[in-house]
Amino acid sequence: MNAEERKYKLAIVGATGVVGRIAREVLEEKKLPISEYAFFSSYKSAGKKIEFLGKEYTVRELKEDSFDEGFDFAIFSAGGETSKKFAPIAASKGCIVVDNSSAWRMDKDVPLVVPEVNSSEIKNNHGIIANPNCSTIQAVVPLKVLDDKYKIKRVVYSTYQAVSGAGIKGIRDLENGTEPGYELQKFAHPIINNCLPHIDVFLDNGYTKEEEKMINETRKILNRPDLPVTATTVRVPVINSHSESINIEFENEFDLDELINTLKNSEGIIVQDDPKHDVYPLATEASGHDEVFVGRIRRDFSIKNGINIWVVSDNLRKGAATNAIQIVEKMIEMNKE
């Protein structure tokens, strides 16, 4: 059997969670050359039945011997503690893990990959590949293009992140928050009618862990360890798709029309930038898509070589499930070469 005909075995860990559900949807759309699937969860969800590609599967409890079956790939979306324990076990059995948690992202021996940006890093894996934070993924897709052409000097992030990024409990806090007697399950304050500048825990330096993730992951993905980056991350009362205002200062001068055309001609980016006709990226329109939408592209006249852009993407698809599956897809392509 040659590489073109090879079929693969794929496991989904955290199959019943929000990202796991989206991963199943994306896999059904992509029709990768995978002949066997298995779905794992904690003991609480084990035994559930799920429909996938016209078949019924039983979700199995994740155990230390779960990877003895010879899986080629596993996508983990079950939290950091699960990944820390089980990803090395899976890797030791010859399975390549694509991990959605933050457990391995900053490990110097683990590639942190966005396929449109740094797919060449995939080959440097030792059995584990990290999927970046959802807010980082959509940001670095346009940033990489612009860094290559104009060399970025500084980045300022302000994010407006949907409640789906906080999982099912975050969604419930928005959907049920007006019910009398409802007790918040995820957020410190009601998300309805509020913007909460508080994603993940606060650190001693005043930043949140989410903000620190964006800063450190951006540097690692762009291979710019000393790049000045700052961030303020905010949870907003939107169900799905993160929006970001990104202020970028360049080392080099630029022509704005050329810059916009560069973005238009880049993989994974859709430019929506016609403010005279109220055209700019919206969370409602980005949901259900895998691209990163960019608009409100304009000069920052307060500095010599600066721009502002508005970046929107589906945080459950491109920001999590799709990016992980695109990594698997790239590995399959590499095996054909």
- Per-residue tokens: 278: 């109220």
Q: Could you tell me if 260 and 207 lie in one domain?
A: yes
Average pLDDT estimate for 116-134: 97
Average pLDDT estimate for 38-55: 94
Q: Could you tell me if 192 and 174 lie in one domain?
A: yes
Average pLDDT estimate for 222-244: 98
Q: Could you tell me if 219 and 94 lie in one domain?
A: no
Q: Residue 202 pLDDT > 50, yes or no?
A: yes
Q: Could you tell me if 266 and 173 lie in one domain?
A: yes
Mean pLDDT of the chain: 96
pTM of this structure: 0.95
pLDDT of residue 154: 98
Going by pLDDT thresholds of 50, 70 and 90, the confidence category of residue 332 is very high
Q: Residue 1 pLDDT > 60, yes or no?
A: no
Q: Residue 336 pLDDT > 90, yes or no?
A: no
What residue numbers bound the domain in which 274 lies?
A: 135-315
**How many domains would you assign to the chain?**
2
CATH number where 286 lies: 3.30.360.10
Average pLDDT estimate for 118-133: 97
Q: Tell me: the pLDDT tens digits for 271-304?
A: 999 999 999 999 999 999 999 999 999 999 999 9
CATH number where 7 lies: 3.40.50.720
- Per-residue tokens: 187: 């957020």
Average pLDDT estimate for 196-200: 98
In the chain, % of residues over pLDDT 70 = 99
**Rg of the Cα atoms in the chain:** 20
Q: Residue 2 pLDDT > 80, yes or no?
A: no
pLDDT of residue 3: 47
Q: Could you tell me if 311 and 214 lie in one domain?
A: yes
Q: Could you tell me if 215 and 69 lie in one domain?
A: no
Q: Could you tell me if 250 and 144 lie in one domain?
A: yes
Question: What is the C-alpha to C-alpha distance for residues 319 and 329, in angstroms, rounded to an integer?
Answer: 16
Going by pLDDT thresholds of 50, 70 and 90, the confidence category of residue 5 is low
Q: Residue 323 pLDDT > 80, yes or no?
A: yes
Q: Could you tell me if 149 and 120 lie in one domain?
A: no
Beta strands, E only, the chain: 8-13, 34-41, 49-52, 55-58, 60-61, 73-76, 96-99, 128-130, 152-161, 229-235, 242-250, 269-271, 292-299, 306-313
pLDDT of residue 6: 78
Q: Could you tell me if 24 and 145 lie in one domain?
A: no
Q: Residue 4 pLDDT > 80, yes or no?
A: no
Q: Tell me: the pLDDT tens digits for 162-178?
A: 999 999 999 999 999 99
Contacts of 116 (CB under 8 A, 6+ apart): 141, 144, 266, 267, 268
Q: Could you tell me if 240 and 123 lie in one domain?
A: no
Q: What residues act catalytically?
A: 134, 242
CA distances to 10, 171, 216, 297, 306 from 248, in Å: 39, 32, 16, 11, 5
Q: Could you tell me if 76 and 156 lie in one domain?
A: no
Q: Residue 255 pLDDT > 70, yes or no?
A: yes
Instruction: Quickly count: other Cβ atoms within 10 Å of residue 106's Cβ.
Output: 15
SS3 letters across 139-165: HHHHHHHHHHHHCEEEEEEEEEECHHH
Q: Could you tell me if 145 and 218 lie in one domain?
A: yes
